[in-house]
Structure 1
């Protein structure tokens, strides 16, 4: 993703000499959670909408409330995943962007970044999504890749989607006509298949055995 293609300057950044009334008007006019404050093109921080709207004296200059500034931003070379983490960590729907001189050059809207992510091959390519689980110290990305590719699958992407105690869950998206073979190989390597799959031969076999046992016990 080339961030500069999605930079917005629709709203002019605030300055500490601006009054509270101006800041409140910005937040009422646009559906934003935060907005940057700059001085001489340098980012000072971001005011949160919920903080600004609670200030009663609208004539006060923002400098009186600089203790409310939140410090977060992204570099113009940040990746989509880095941006999504900053959005999530700060519960914000915009991120101010700085160039290599640490100068403010605009902001990114969460909707634009989500649009880019949703149009990536990982999201739009038809494939099967597996969630596998294993002890954190026992799994490796290279092993997962080898399992998929040794069964003729094409790996679209994978990431650690959850960590619980000593276990991690890895979400894997693959293109394969032999998804059952891939799942069986994961099991042979002591991975647990967390996601449910309609045509999982292993689970179907367990179900058949369970049904047979139930019928036997009812005789």
Structure 2
């Protein structure tokens, strides 16, 4: 799951002396949200699509619109999700520690890879449960699920404060009523739940989980 295993190299990094028109044409060919810019052979930043339609000239004229974001090639793909969300991007530049542009990763590639994991690929039930922060234990949550003969596919913290923690979990569809009762008995409050065993809902299921990851 390292970034270096997902790098594509067919999207160039422009120089400030390149024309806005050439960058715009390349962006339209690929359908990405940003173009990338280098300066003195080092990665400089990214310019969002909308700014490329505001004026003509060279990318130097848009230097004040450059956003500084990139990901290192030795990072994990999970590190990229916050960048996709924060910069409203569907593509992220990849650099090395010397700030040399190596290529890019796309949101589509990362999504397709994540969707292969049971957390996303298996149909099942999604629950968001809340517990006081002082008694939070992922081990206990997993034990509650598994003690009711259901499979625990994965979980993440979806909300956290000094008083309470909310955890979103993905489990198989067995014994859901019993699981609800056990959580209640252990003083967990079920905030949201979505039960489905229909394959037709699988894509929605995956996308909802990815959105929750992005919002963290």
Please tell me the TM-score bracket, short chain as reference.
0.7 to 0.9
Asked whether the equivalents of residues 46 and 68 of structure 2 are also in contact (C-alpha less than 8 Å), the reply is yes
**Match of residue 146 from structure 1:** 143
Deviations 1:3-43 (A, max 9, x none): 33432222211111112222222233331111111235421
The separation in 1 between residues aligned to 2:172 and 2:96, in whole angstroms, is 38
Structure 2 unaligned segments of length 5 or more: list them.
196-216
Instruction: Please point out which of 119, 125, 129 is paired with 1:128.
Output: 125
More displaced, 161-170 or 136-145? 161-170
- Structure 1 spans left out of the alignment, 5+ residues: 199-219
Judge which range, 108-117 or 159-168, deviates more.
159-168
CA spacing shift, 1:140–1:88, aligned 2, 3 Å = same
How far the C-alpha of 1:47 sits from its partner, in A, is 0.8
In the superposition, the TM-score normalised over structure 2's length comes to 0.78
3-state SS in 2 of match to 1:14: strand
Length-normalised TM-score, structure 1: 0.77
- 1:44 paired with 2:44, answer yes
For 1:158 and 1:197, how far apart are their aligned partners in 2?
A: 14
Q: Distance in 2 between matches of 1:196 and 1:44?
A: 44
Aligned 8 A contact 1:80 1:117 in 2? no
Task: State the alpha-carbon separation in 1 of the partners of residues 139 and 41 from structure 2.
Answer: 44
Structure 1 SS opposite 2:15? coil
The residue that corresponds to 1:180 in the other structure is 177
SS at match of 1:183: helix
Query: C-alpha distance in 2, partners of 1:6/1:197?
Result: 32
1:185 shift after superposition: 1.6
Instruction: Name 1:69's counterpart in structure 2.
Output: 66
Partner of 1:89: 86
- Size of the alignment, in residue pairs? 196
Is contact 2:3-2:72 (8 Å) kept?
no
RMSD: 2.5
* CA displacement at 1:165 relative to structure 2: 8.8
**Aligned partners of 1:51 and 1:101: how far apart in 2?**
28
Question: Following the alignment from structure 1 to structure 2, what is the Cα–Cα distance between the partners of residues 41 and 145?
Answer: 50
Decide whether aligned partners of structure 1 residues 22 and 153 sit closer, same or farther in structure 2, where only a CA change above 3 A counts: same
Deviation string, structure 1 residues 81-118 (Cα, Å, up to 9, x no partner): 22111100110010001124432110011111111111
| Structure 1 pair 80–5 and aligned structure 2 pair: CA distance change class (3 A) | closer
Q: In the alignment, which of 86, 111, 116 is matched to residue 114 of structure 1?
A: 111
Residue among 189, 193, 199 paired with 1:192: 189
- Corresponding residue number in structure 1 for 2:20: 20
- 2:75 aligns to what? 78
Deviating more after overlay: 107-116 vs 167-176: 167-176
1:29 aligns with 2:29: yes
